[in-house]
Chain A
């Protein structure tokens, strides 16, 4: 049995379709992340799962119940909001037990639940405070506590970390992950932050313009993006897209690469049948920064070529080097010790085994 099934779900506001037939299924205990740029419909979809927005077409099934037209309270869900939405007039403990109180759970039992949740989230000293007197991270915990107290079959998170500062965000991120691993909860989580998506998810649905562009594990999506949008959206710094000429060679295909006034032939040592029809035409090479590095001996399959360095950005463990390749700015991840100054040519090593190719017109992956 699936924990959540979203079947051909559509949403229209008047004539405008904001969701165009969404199909997603997840298993119990899975962590699903809906990720995409703002306006892609991910929050609308989450609100529809919660029952806060009506479904125009299609069905939503939680467990073995179709909940498409049920009230939020009858769906067995809990939700954590971006602004936390703590009730300002109630203490932390009242906030956590509000749902239980409405469900007419006896007070002593409520207290047991509140204590358990407070202990789990380490917010015991805060139980008698009002939300006003809490820091951002503490409010975040209380909001999660309120969800945990309800013990629902699905947890919904709507960009829960985006109001926190950078350091706290990373801390809370790993706490959410830890909580998920410990409690084996089923979670649907909306974010626009692809790093959150990569780090937290079991499965990711990348959305754009009201459609799911790709559905898969983080690694699948990172390594095998379906199109140029997904490839560019996932990963930071994002994938480089270099337009280049494709030609046939004895061993396979070759790409014409120009940098620092020199043209190099880059051998494509992958078996991609789709490339055959692009011979003599232009393709878009998708190559991630970590696939262009300083020259080293331990990668025999890689090509080496001289490149014109334009910008050097040290990050600590790696240094990001921007070069110009076929007229396009291209970011490479280089070890700090191997670095040269801007304006100088530098030999870089291309690992093309994991490179991907896109059609310049349709932006679809060439397979």
Chain B
């Protein structure tokens, strides 16, 4: 092995350790009991695999007043994420399809304006969105939060699909039009079947964004409808008695597991989709 290789792998190993260390600390801490945590150091391995903290975080830990663990909030998040991801992805695909294959007067301007949406920070839209949700009568509900995520995500999903479809030859659409297919038929039978890579990108991106979102969750939902990120915050900040680091860590890992899972399952499509169209062929 040449010196170059050793250097490269050395740097890579350091970087990997740097990123993995916090996860390692979280995992081993979550498997210890409080006694072990107090007596050992952060990196001392647990004496046995002890899942009591996980059980507690899932079903009995206190998040504020109620003490039913994270499980209810986990399903809240699922109920928010699944429809929000699906709807924003489908709408993004439709937008991208229209913006590349059914251009209209001002469609480039429309796309330009939509791009601004990707640059608007969450905080800016908090108040106007609160008014809007109130006006629509869905403030504080799961539907309200779903709507916010769909709208906020549209700019990104549209950007993804538009950039993907721009490299799909328009002759395909023309051929289908001559074959007698209409707008929806072409979308459904020609465009969607060739969109797998970008669908995966959009789903991963939106899933991560929405699952990890805290700000919208804390502002636009309340009580039993809160997503897991908000519940995690409440769990960690509930200060009665001893600070249970092992439960906090287990809860944090539970909250992060779904995104981790999605990346492990679909990660290779993610890279493939992001680079698709960058190199032709």
* Proximity string of chain A (31-69) to chain B, C-beta cutoff 8 Å, 1 when within and 0 when not: 000000000000000010011100000000000000000
A212 at the interface (CB under 8 A from B): no
Q: Contact check, B194 vs A77: say whether CB atoms are below 8 A apart.
A: no
Residues on B with C-beta less than 8 A from A52 are: 174, 177-178
Q: Contact check, A99 vs B174: say whether CB atoms are below 8 A apart.
A: no
Q: B179 — nearest CB in chain A belongs to which residue? A: A99
Q: Contact check, A81 vs B175: say whether CB atoms are below 8 A apart.
A: yes
Within 8 A of A (CB), among B161-181: 169, 171-172, 174-181
B121 at the interface (CB under 8 A from A): no
Within 8 A of B (CB), among A97-135: 98-99, 102-103
Determine which of A73, A82, A86, A103 lies in contact with B178 in the assembled complex, contact meaning CB atoms within 8 Å: A73
Determine which of A47, A85, A89, A146 lies in contact with B169 in the assembled complex, contact meaning CB atoms within 8 Å: A85
B185 at the interface (CB under 8 A from A): yes
Residues on A with C-beta less than 8 A from B257 are: none
Residues on B with C-beta less than 8 A from A99 are: 178-180
Q: Contact check, A50 vs B171: say whether CB atoms are below 8 A apart.
A: no
B137 at the interface (CB under 8 A from A): no
Distance of A49 from chain B, by nearest CB (Å): 11
Q: Contact check, A77 vs B180: say whether CB atoms are below 8 A apart.
A: no
A87 at the interface (CB under 8 A from B): yes
Q: Contact check, B177 vs A72: say whether CB atoms are below 8 A apart.
A: yes
Residues on B with C-beta less than 8 A from A98 are: 176, 179, 181, 189
Determine which of A72, A78, A85 lies in contact with B172 in the assembled complex, contact meaning CB atoms within 8 Å: A85
CA distance A146 to B193 in the complex (A): 20
Within 8 A of A (CB), among B136-182: 169, 171-172, 174-181
B190 at the interface (CB under 8 A from A): yes
Interface centre among A47, A78, A85, A102 (most CB of B within 10 A): A85
Q: Contact check, A78 vs B178: say whether CB atoms are below 8 A apart.
A: yes
Residues on B with C-beta less than 8 A from A88 are: 172, 194
* Proximity string of chain B (3-34) to chain A, C-beta cutoff 8 Å, 1 when within and 0 when not: 00000000000000000000000000000000
Dominant SS among interface residues on chain B: helix
A83 at the interface (CB under 8 A from B): yes
Determine which of B171, B178, B185, B189 lies in contact with A77 in the assembled complex, contact meaning CB atoms within 8 Å: B178
* Proximity string of chain B (37-78) to chain A, C-beta cutoff 8 Å, 1 when within and 0 when not: 000000000000000000000000000000000000000000
CA distance A200 to B193 in the complex (A): 38
Determine which of B171, B178, B193, B194 lies in contact with A72 in the assembled complex, contact meaning CB atoms within 8 Å: B178
Q: Contact check, A85 vs B175: say whether CB atoms are below 8 A apart.
A: yes
* Proximity string of chain B (185-208) to chain A, C-beta cutoff 8 Å, 1 when within and 0 when not: 100011001100000000000000
CA distance A82 to B175 in the complex (A): 11
Residues on A with C-beta less than 8 A from B181 are: 73, 98, 102
A150 at the interface (CB under 8 A from B): yes
A348 at the interface (CB under 8 A from B): no
Q: A87-B190, A89-B190, A89-B194 are in contact. Are A150 and B179 (CB under 8 A)?
A: yes
Q: B182 — nearest CB in chain A belongs to which residue? A: A73
Please, how many residues of chain A have a CB less than 8 angstroms from a CB on the other chain? 24
CA distance A1 to B178 in the complex (A): 24
Q: Contact check, A73 vs B175: say whether CB atoms are below 8 A apart.
A: no
Q: Contact check, A102 vs B175: say whether CB atoms are below 8 A apart.
A: no
Q: Contact check, B180 vs A85: say whether CB atoms are below 8 A apart.
A: no
Distance of B67 from chain A, by nearest CB (Å): 52
A79 at the interface (CB under 8 A from B): yes
Residues on B with C-beta less than 8 A from A81 are: 171, 174-175
Q: A47 — nearest CB in chain B belongs to which residue? A: B174
Distance of B109 from chain A, by nearest CB (Å): 16
CA distance A103 to B185 in the complex (A): 12
Determine which of A79, A102, A146 lies in contact with B174 in the assembled complex, contact meaning CB atoms within 8 Å: A79
Distance of A144 from chain B, by nearest CB (Å): 12
Distance of B212 from chain A, by nearest CB (Å): 33
CA distance A7 to B175 in the complex (A): 25
CA distance A71 to B177 in the complex (A): 8
CA distance A83 to B172 in the complex (A): 9
Q: Contact check, B193 vs A89: say whether CB atoms are below 8 A apart.
A: yes
Distance of B107 from chain A, by nearest CB (Å): 16
Determine which of B171, B172, B179 lies in contact with A146 in the assembled complex, contact meaning CB atoms within 8 Å: B179
CA distance A82 to B169 in the complex (A): 11
CA distance A312 to B189 in the complex (A): 57
CA distance A47 to B174 in the complex (A): 9
Q: A81-B171, A82-B171, A102-B185 are in contact. Are A87 and B177 (CB under 8 A)?
A: no
CA distance A188 to B171 in the complex (A): 18
Interface centre among B169, B172, B179, B194 (most CB of A within 10 A): B179
- 7 additional A-B residue pairs with CB within 8 Å, beyond A72-B177, A102-B185, A146-B175: A51-B178, A72-B178, A77-B178, A81-B175, A82-B171, A88-B172, A89-B193
Binding site for A on B (CB under 8 A): 169, 171-172, 174-181, 185, 189-190, 193-194
Binding site for B on A (CB under 8 A): 47, 50-52, 71-73, 77-79, 81-83, 85-89, 98-99, 102-103, 146, 150
Interface pairs A-B: 7 shortest CB-CB: A99-B179, A89-B193, A85-B171, A73-B180, A85-B175, A102-B180, A81-B171
Question: 22 interchain pairs (CB within 8 A)?
Answer: A50-B178, A51-B177, A52-B174, A52-B177, A52-B178, A72-B174, A72-B177, A73-B178, A73-B180, A73-B181, A81-B174, A83-B169, A85-B169, A85-B171, A86-B175, A88-B194, A89-B194, A98-B181, A98-B189, A99-B178, A146-B179, A150-B179
